[in-house]
Structures are given as C-alpha cells and as structure tokens.
Amino acid sequence: MKKILLSKILFLLLLCCSTAWAQERVVSGKVTSTEDGTVLPGVSILLKGSATGTVTDSNGTYAISVSNGSTLVFSFIGFLSQEVLVSERTIVDVQLTTDITQLAEIVVTAQGQDKDKKSLGYSVQTVKGDDVSQKSEPNLLNALQGKLAGVNISSSSGGAGSSTNINIRGVTSFGGNNQPLIVVDGIIFNNDVNNTQNTLFGSQPSNRLNDISPENIESINVLKGPGASVLYGSRAGSGVIVITTKKGSKISGKTEVTLTSSLNFQNATGFPKLQNQYGQGLNNDFNNGSSNSWGPAFGGSLTEVTTLQGNVVPYQAYPNNVKDFFKQGRIFQNGINISSGDKEKNVLLSISNTSQDGIIPGTSYSRNSVQFGGNTKLNNGLKIGSSITYVRSSQGGITSGNGGSALGQITRIPRSYNLLGDPFEDTNGKSIYYLGTQNHPLWSTKYETFSSNVDRAFGYVTLGYDIKPWLNVSYKATADIFFDRRKQVLSIGSARAPQGQITEDAIFNSEINGDLIIKAFKDDFFIEGLNASILLGQNINERSFQNITADAASLTIPGFNNISNGSVFTSTAESKTLRRLVGHYTDISLSYKDYLFVSLQGRIDQSSTLPKANNSFFYPGVSVSFIPSEAFNFKSEILSQLKIRGSVAKVGKDANVYLLNSVFVSGSYGNNVASINFPVSVGGASIPGFSPSSRIGSNTLTPEFTTSYDGGVNLDLLNGRVTLDVGYFYSESSNQIFNVAISSASGYDTRTTNVGLLTNKGWEVELSATPIKSGEFSWNISGNWSRLRNQVVSIAPGVTSSTIPGNSFVGISPSIKEGSPYGVIIGTDFAKNPNGERLVNPQTGLYLPGIPNSEIANPNPKWTAGLTNTFNYKGISLSALFDVRFGGDIYSFNWVDLRSNGQLEITGIDRDKPRSLEGVIDVKGDGSSYIPNNIQISAQSYWGALGGLGSKSAVFDATTYRFRELALNYKLPSKLLAKTPIGGVSIGVSGRNLFFYAPNAPGDPGVNSQGAGNIQGLDLNGAPATRNYGFNVRITL
C-alpha cells in the first residue's frame, strides 16, 4: 500500500510540471539525411527552452506551433543535433548529418531505455552484430569470447550444442545462479542448462541462449555490475546482457531483404600428443586387458599378440587411433531477414536455420527459428508493438563423463589398440572391446545416446501512449516459454546400465513479465540547462518450471528404445516449481548542460520465495557522469573528451524456491558402484521408502545483497581516433542464502541460512584506436584487458570451507574457502616439508601419502585480454582477434589419465631409463634433515606417482594465448550491382580457435566438462575443443 501511495505522489508531482505555453503560428518542413537525401522519420523536434515538441512522420515531415524568434532543436539518434532559428519562416527544411561518434554511443540500458553513453555513470560495453555474426561460431556466448572486458566466458567443449558459462565481474553468490540476466528485445530470456543428469556422468545439454543465432544479432550491450541494473531487479545482480535482434526500426521507408549463408567445418583440437613407441600392457609386459601403454616397445621381439577375443593381431602402434575417433564436423547456417517500414510503423520477418554435425560420431545440433514482429501507431496515438519468435532446437549427443562413456574411454585406448580398424560390435549388437566391463567408444556413441528437442516461443506485446508530449505510459508483457523433451538411451549391454535404461525428461519452463512504465521528462527544470526525466515502473513476474522424468530400467527387447520396454520404473519422478515476484522501480535522471549527469534508481521487490515477514526488500543506486572537458571547456584537438564516472548500487536477491522447509525425499542408497532406489521391489512387493532430505530448511531467510562501487575515466583523443576507458570496480556480496555444509554426523549435509561475505574487485581497460586512416585504407585496433580478484571473506561461524552445490567427486571438490577465491578445488596435495619440498618415502621412492583437504587448484585467471585488429581497404575487411587468459588452473582428469597410463608423448621419452621423483627424503624420519630424493624408479612408477584421482598432480596451469578469430570479408562495389535488384553482396571466410599456445598444459585448457554453472576448471572426460573455419555470404536486396 505504501508503494502505491508513493507512486501516486510522484505521479502528481509530474502533473504539476506541465504548463501552458503561448503558441502563435505553425511551421512545417521536412527532415532529410545529408548523406543520401533519404527522409528521416521519427526525428524529434523540440521548441528550445520548452517541453513542447513533436516528431517527424513516416515521410519525414513535421508541423509545430512556434512564436517568432523560437529556436527548434532537431535531434535523432545517430545524427548530430541541429538548432535552427525559425525567424519569420513557415517552412523549415532541415538536413541532418550522421554523427559517426554518436552512432556507437547510444546504448540500450535497463528496461529498454536508449541512453547516450556519455551520460552513463556506470560501465557498459557494446558489441555490434557484425562482431559476432559470420564468425564460424553458432553459439552466441562463444562468439563473444575475448571481446569483453571484465567478462569471463568459458565454453565447456566443442561438442555440438554444448553449454557455455558466462560470469560478469566475477561470482557474487555462493550457491545461486551467477549467470547474468539475459534480455532479448526486452524479454527476460532463460539461459539455464537444466541438467537432468549427474554432470559427472551424464549428457551435456545446451545453455538456452543457444536458441538465439549469432546471425540475428543487431547489438549486444553488456551492463556490468549491479549499478547498471537496479531496474531489472534481483537477477541483474550478476550483470545484464541486453541483446537487440535485427529488426525494422532502423530502416526508413523501404523494404530490405537480407540473405545470409555460411558453411563451416570443425575439427577436434587441443588433444595432447601421444607416444607411439610402446603398446598395451604393464611393466614392459603385454596384457590384452590393460588400459595402460606400459607394454613392450614396438619393433622388438613381440610382433603378434592375442586380443581378449582370441584374435591374433600384429603388435604395432596405431598413431591415429584416438585422433581419428573424432571426425570432421560441419555447420551450415542460413538466414533470411525481411523488414519494411519506418521507425513508427514497421514489420519484420526473420527465418534462420543452423544445422551442425558434431566432431563426435552421432552428435548433431540444429536450430530453426522464425521471428515475426512489427510496430504501429494507431490514429488515436496508441502505439502497439509485438514480436514473436518460435525456435526449435535439437541436440543429438552422447553420454559423457567419467566411467562408462565414449569420452571416459577415449583416454584409455592403448597405443597398440586398433580402435577404429576392428569391429566394435558383434552380430548381436554386443560391444567388442579390450575391457569386458566397458564399452567400445564407437559402441557407446551408437548405443548410449542423448537427445534434447526444444520448442520455444518468446515474444512481447507493448502498448504505449503519449499522454502529453512529456509524459508517456506504456505496458509491456513478455513471455518466454519452452518445452524440452530429452531422452537418454543406455542400450542393453551398456557399462553403466548392463540391463539398459531409458530416461525421458519432459521439461516445461515459462517466464512471464508484465511491466508498466511511466516516463516523463522536463527540460530546464527549475534552472536553465537542467533536464530531468523520471521513470516509474512496476514489474509482475512469474516463473514456473516442471520436469517429469519417466525412467525405465531393465530393458527386455534390444533396439526397442521405448519406455514400455522397461520393467523397473522406480526413478520416475516429477519436479515442479513456481515463483512470483512483484517489483516497483524508479529511475530519476538529471542532466546539467551536457556535462553533468546524475541518475538515481530504486527498486522494491516482493518475492514469493522468502518468508512472508522478510519478503519485501528495497535497494537503491546512484550514478554520476561528469565531463570536465565540457564543463571547463578545455577540449582540444588532442583531448576531445574527458569523462569521469562513478556509481554505487545495491541489488537484493531473493531465495530459490522452496528453501524454507525441511522435507522428505524418496530414498536411495549408493552410487555408481552399487545402488538402490525406492520404491524397491522385495519379495514381489513394491516397498516405498522416504528419508529426510540432506538439507535443513530455514524459515528465517532474508534477502542477499550485493553492493557495488564502480568508477572510471573515459578519454577521447585525437577527435575520436583513440578512446581509452579505464574502470575500477569493487563489490561486496553479503547475507548469502547458502546451503552451508554441516557435520555429516548431524545426519544432514547442509543447512540453508544467510551467511558470508564475498568480494570482487578489478580493473577493466578498453582501448580502441585508428592508427591509420588514409584514403580508403584504415586500420582499427580494439583491445580490452581486465583483472579480477575474487575473495570469499567469510562463510559461516565455524565453517572455513564448503562445497559448491553440484556434482563432484569425493576428493576433487569445487569449494568456497575462507580467504580464497570462489571455486577453488579442494583435493589432496603432496606431503611437503616446511620448505615446501615434496616428501618421498625412503622405502619406495614414491611420494608419501598426500594431505587431504588442501586447496589444489584455483580456476580463476589472473588476467585476461583480447586484441582485435581490423584492416579495411575499399570493400575488403580483415579482422583478427587474439586473446590471452593468463594464470588460473585446470584440473584435468583426461591429461593425468593419459600420462599415468603411459600414453602421453612425454611418457615415451627415455622410457627405459630409471628416474627419481622431484622431492626430498626425511633422513632421520624426524624432520631434522632432508636430502634430495635419489631413489631411482621406473618410468611407469614415476608417472604413476604423478597420477591418481584427487591429486595435485592433475592440476595444470591454464594460461593460454589464442588466435581466437580471423575473418576476411569482401563487399562487392555497389557499382557492380547498380543494375541488379541486389543492394549489396559480401562474401567472407572466417576461422576460429586457429592456434593456441598453452605453455604449461599438454592440451587445450579451454574446456570445462561440467558445463555452464558455478563449477569451473574441471575437465573430467569432456569433449575436446574445436577449430572451426569456413566461408559465408550475405546478400542484401
């Protein structure tokens, strides 16, 4: 009730500002562009010093009442404003000149507000559609890699449709969602992964932003930090990505048809180099059941061996047995975009198609989307706009992860094993492999499959009305709804489910938002030169989710992949969530004489997920932008503009659903070694069983808050030839709603409570420059550099570390740890002496047992940077992006497995020579004196000692220097096309991930097998990265 009163008062305030004006006569005219003479609809015309104004119609004409001596101000986005003294004239025609610098400066900010970048007191980075389209990359987030400062993007793998993680300015929530809020054309857009399988073993679904093709992007604005995003509410605490798709609002009067097409190829890359001197076996003996390559050397006395199946085969190296398991992938993308109309009345139809065959046999991804939308203004002044997009995306994949999957086996192929040459199944479809309990990787790709079929519709309807020229009311309703039908088939004979298992997941997700927005503005508010605008908004939000799992185990009929083939259905389940939120928000922006901008924001949310007593929370923000070069008028040829910005904001966050109660769950025991799931069948009876959930609920939760401070300097030098932006940010996230680890002896695993403090601080530098611009040749450089320091300051009383929710192996726990950055991996470190030297057992020459509960890896890079060089000459454009990720670790089960199995190239070097582990021996056993270890051991023991799950030796430095992207485009001269209906043709070639250099890792560290989410820096038998390259064409009619 209080809130309504508040908004009423504000409303009245606004009404008071309107004043009557003396108006004497009417002038009219036409506004055109100096560049090509086309008419400009939607140009705003203001009577200077008043709130009176109008806009040009679709023919570029206008009419306005003026008095003699009035000055009209013509302004239009992308053009230089022009002031014209009316004098005695009745017709005032005006030509507007394009403002090159301003073009890039208008950014779409929170709640769809177009703002001049120089007025913004917080950091926003813009990426143009051209920077992500036609770059050989079907995943939009991947296409942004290296292009944004302060944004960490990591793709999970090169698998078709696999997910990509993104964090803006670090992680702010211990256990909640840390992905930024994605807004597509004003629609809150779901980017969840919704894992239905254990991420250690299951299939890797897409992140749902994959449903947007990079080819459809007009622009992307990244609003960093909460300061930019108070208006969007809770979820904007992790930043906001505002995506604008291509649509008709830019064009003026004519119909434009754009066709795009591209074909790209994909190859697995970054798989480590392997040795080819030694074959299957252990201790220099051949063993046909071993997954090791510590067998005899090739070319010796052993020339023939008998396989597990009893076949006699030559004993030789198969150098490409692993490499050729991965095939060449193909990505084919086509799109057509038809738009017509002007700024006020327009229509758009866009159709796009992507189809991809992955690098792993049997994997694929496809995406088809149709968008239809338009805007119009009715005769009574009501503006209506709408757009609806339907997307169907399908992912055909395989099960991945450790144990019992193709990718889990591919690191265990002995060098002498003819993986691809011999049949992988017998006539009954049974796997033929060197390990009886595992499946041949090719068998797995054929018989252990995963598919995800998404049908998604999202769109909006807006109604807008200008009650007064200075007062606008609008309502926007948006919806984003998808169904995802997933199916995992583990055929009979699968290592993980020897009797077979079929799992169907029917996922429904919907989010509906209604936003009422009242906007008002007033120039020369109280004093001359002070312009004010105010926005009042109300948001009603509902999110619902349902996942129905039908699980059939113990199959009977081979090859019949239907639920009805099962005889045990005990894992069948349903999960449903519903949450609602009502928010009220305001934004008051003041600008003084084009050099001082102050903006105040505030939002009150009421959330269904918090206890009733604590479910309402307020958070404010303030930002200031000051341009001394204007204020003190010291701008020059060298210093075109100096801007200083600063902002402080706080964003509150509600809880996840259903955290308030302790509940009971259907019981289960065990893991992949042995397990039961209730209801169990005992003696012919079905016995249900429930257990208390491992989490203790809390009905006293309060919202969590992130307070952030952001400051920066922006320099425009040499008339815009060089711009430099340096920013610093600091944020504190407190009162985290987190499931804190408690002693297991309590009978429970976690307790939900408000705890902890997490800080992020960092520097971001963006630089763009045009070193050469002469005639038709230009060279542009655009670079970014950022460093982020994240620290878990405190967790909970008596708790110094806690595991991040998600799936993880015992002994390799992605964790929060007091004093360390978020997401460090807790595992077993080497036992060391006080000097930090590794301790070796004097009896064996091997390392002493390690120290558990040690921090062994930190996945966060020290700094990242990206540099794009673009060369333009006539119609030719060449751009190349290099990026660097410096520091940070990756825990790679793949690499350490290959190494301890004797497959990695390094294990073949001097294999017959004994060696000593690096370390020291405690001579007297009492720590009084240490000597360097000199006990000689075999290569097998040596590399074996550096193996093992959960050990520090599986951790590698993830520093990577990467040639991320190369694109060459040629735009045909318009003269050539003058006599055709074709407006423009551009053709190009592009490549991605063309080269990488990772000095301290045997392969490409740019993978994360756990997919998008809070667990990063793990490679537990995921798919490798890919190199993409291909060509594309764009035709405009």
Residues from 637 through 666 that contact other proteins (CB under 8 A): 657-658, 660-665
Query: Quick one: which segment of 331-339, 416-424, 604-612, 928-936 binds other proteins (CB under 8 A)?
Result: 604-612
Assess 997 for contact with other proteins (CB under 8 A). Answer: no
CB of 883 to other proteins, least distance (A): 37
CA distance linking residue 853 with residue 855, whole number of Å: 7
Give the residue, chosen from 440, 751, 911, 962, that forms a contact with other proteins under the rule CB under 8 A.
Answer: 751
Query: Quick one: which segment of 324-332, 772-780, 798-806, 992-1000 binds other proteins (CB under 8 A)?
Result: 798-806
Q: Among residues 774, 959, 930, 789, which one has the least CA distance to residue 865?
A: 959
CB of 353 to other proteins, least distance (A): 38
CB of 703 to other proteins, least distance (A): 14
Contact positions with other proteins (CB under 8 A) in 362-391? 380, 382
**Residue by residue, what is the 3-state secondary structure of 120-151?**
CCCCEEEEEHHHCCCCCCCCHHHHCCCCCCCE
DSSP 271: P
In what helix (H) or strand (E) does residue 103 lie, and over which residues does it extend? helix 100-103
Amino acid found at 800? T
Q: Among residues 116, 117, 81, 74, which one has the least CA distance to residue 98?
A: 81
Contact positions with other proteins (CB under 8 A) in 500-539? 501, 514, 516, 518, 538
Token pair in block for residue 147 = 């292009």
CB of 745 to other proteins, least distance (A): 4
Assess 691 for contact with other proteins (CB under 8 A). Answer: yes
Q: Among residues 301, 296, 303, 366, which one has the least CA distance to residue 331?
A: 366
Question: Is the CB of 20 or the CB of 682 nearer to other proteins?
Answer: 682
User: Between the CA atoms of 904, 909, 913 and 915, what dihedral angle is there, to the nearest 10 degrees?
Assistant: -60
List the x/- string, 802-831, binding to other proteins by CB under 8 A.
--------xx--------------x-x---
CA distance linking residue 227 with residue 1025, whole number of Å: 35
Assess 669 for contact with other proteins (CB under 8 A). Answer: yes
Token pair in block for residue 294 = 């510590």
Question: Is the CB of 642 or the CB of 796 nearer to other proteins?
Answer: 796
Give the residue, chosen from 277, 608, 719, 791, that forms a contact with other proteins under the rule CB under 8 A.
Answer: 608
Query: Which stretches within 271-358 are classed as H helix?
Result: none
Give the residue, chosen from 672, 700, 929, 936, that forms a contact with other proteins under the rule CB under 8 A.
Answer: 672
Assess 745 for contact with other proteins (CB under 8 A). Answer: yes
CB 863 within 8 A of CB 887: yes
Q: How far is CA 815 from the centre of its chain?
A: 21
Question: Is the CB of 479 or the CB of 696 nearer to other proteins?
Answer: 696
Burial of 663 (0-12, 13-18, 19+ CB in 10 A): exposed
Question: Is the CB of 570 or the CB of 707 nearer to other proteins?
Answer: 570
Give the residue, chosen from 87, 681, 974, 1000, that forms a contact with other proteins under the rule CB under 8 A.
Answer: 681
Assess 499 for contact with other proteins (CB under 8 A). Answer: yes
CA distance linking residue 543 with residue 233, whole number of Å: 14
Give the residue, chosen from 85, 687, 713, 923, that forms a contact with other proteins under the rule CB under 8 A.
Answer: 687
Burial of 306 (0-12, 13-18, 19+ CB in 10 A): exposed
Assess 683 for contact with other proteins (CB under 8 A). Answer: yes
CB of 515 to other proteins, least distance (A): 9
Burial of 507 (0-12, 13-18, 19+ CB in 10 A): buried
List the x/- string, 693-732, binding to other proteins by CB under 8 A.
xx-x------------------------------------
CA distance linking residue 487 with residue 503, whole number of Å: 6
Question: Is the CB of 667 or the CB of 875 nearer to other proteins?
Answer: 667
CB 803 within 8 A of CB 810: no
Give the residue, chosen from 253, 361, 403, 806, that forms a contact with other proteins under the rule CB under 8 A.
Answer: 403
Give the residue, chosen from 149, 268, 305, 497, that forms a contact with other proteins under the rule CB under 8 A.
Answer: 497
In what helix (H) or strand (E) does residue 265 lie, and over which residues does it extend? strand 256-269
Contact positions with other proteins (CB under 8 A) in 544-583? 553-554, 567-568, 570-571, 574-582
Question: Is the CB of 355 or the CB of 570 nearer to other proteins?
Answer: 570
Q: Which residue(s) pair with 790 in the sheet?
A: 760
Query: Quick one: which segment of 13-21, 148-156, 256-264, 793-801 binds other proteins (CB under 8 A)?
Result: 793-801
Secondary structure (3-state) at 10: helix
CB 271 within 8 A of CB 322: yes
Assess 473 for contact with other proteins (CB under 8 A). Answer: yes
CB 188 within 8 A of CB 229: no
Secondary structure (3-state) at 976: coil
Query: Quick one: which segment of 1-9, 261-269, 958-966, 972-980 binds other proteins (CB under 8 A)?
Result: 1-9
Give the residue, chosen from 39, 331, 741, 904, that forms a contact with other proteins under the rule CB under 8 A.
Answer: 741
Q: Among residues 609, 580, 586, 579, which one has the least CA distance to residue 538?
A: 586
According to DSSP, the β-strands at 61-66 and 25-33 are antiparallel
Give the chain's count of helices (H) and strands (E): 8, 56
CB of 689 to other proteins, least distance (A): 4
Give the residue, chosen from 379, 427, 744, 774, that forms a contact with other proteins under the rule CB under 8 A.
Answer: 744
Residue position matching structure tokens 């751009």? 879
CB of 361 to other proteins, least distance (A): 22
CB of 654 to other proteins, least distance (A): 10
Assess 981 for contact with other proteins (CB under 8 A). Answer: no
Q: Among residues 110, 334, 137, which one has the least CA distance to residue 221?
A: 110
Give the residue, chosen from 205, 296, 397, 404, that forms a contact with other proteins under the rule CB under 8 A.
Answer: 404
Query: Quick one: which segment of 107-115, 410-418, 737-745, 860-868 binds other proteins (CB under 8 A)?
Result: 737-745
List the x/- string, 168-207, binding to other proteins by CB under 8 A.
----------------------------------------
CB of 759 to other proteins, least distance (A): 23
Assess 747 for contact with other proteins (CB under 8 A). Answer: yes
CB of 912 to other proteins, least distance (A): 19
Assess 615 for contact with other proteins (CB under 8 A). Answer: yes
SS3 content of the chain, % helix, strand, coil (to 5): 10, 50, 40
Assess 954 for contact with other proteins (CB under 8 A). Answer: no
According to DSSP, the β-strands at 217-223 and 364-377 are unpaired
CA distance linking residue 852 with residue 831, whole number of Å: 9
CA distance linking residue 475 with residue 285, whole number of Å: 76
Q: How far is CA 617 from the centre of its chain?
A: 28
Assess 670 for contact with other proteins (CB under 8 A). Answer: yes
Contact positions with other proteins (CB under 8 A) in 246-305? 282-283, 285, 287-289
CB of 23 to other proteins, least distance (A): 20
Contact positions with other proteins (CB under 8 A) in 117-146? none
CA distance linking residue 132 with residue 140, whole number of Å: 7
CB 828 within 8 A of CB 856: yes
CB of 747 to other proteins, least distance (A): 3
Query: Quick one: which segment of 639-647, 740-748, 778-786, 989-997 binds other proteins (CB under 8 A)?
Result: 740-748
Q: Which residue(s) pair with 605 in the sheet?
A: 583, 617
Question: Is the CB of 5 or the CB of 638 nearer to other proteins?
Answer: 5
CA distance linking residue 68 with residue 83, whole number of Å: 15
Assess 925 for contact with other proteins (CB under 8 A). Answer: no
Query: Quick one: which segment of 104-112, 254-262, 595-603, 675-683 binds other proteins (CB under 8 A)?
Result: 675-683
Count of residues in contact with other proteins, rule CB under 8 A? 108
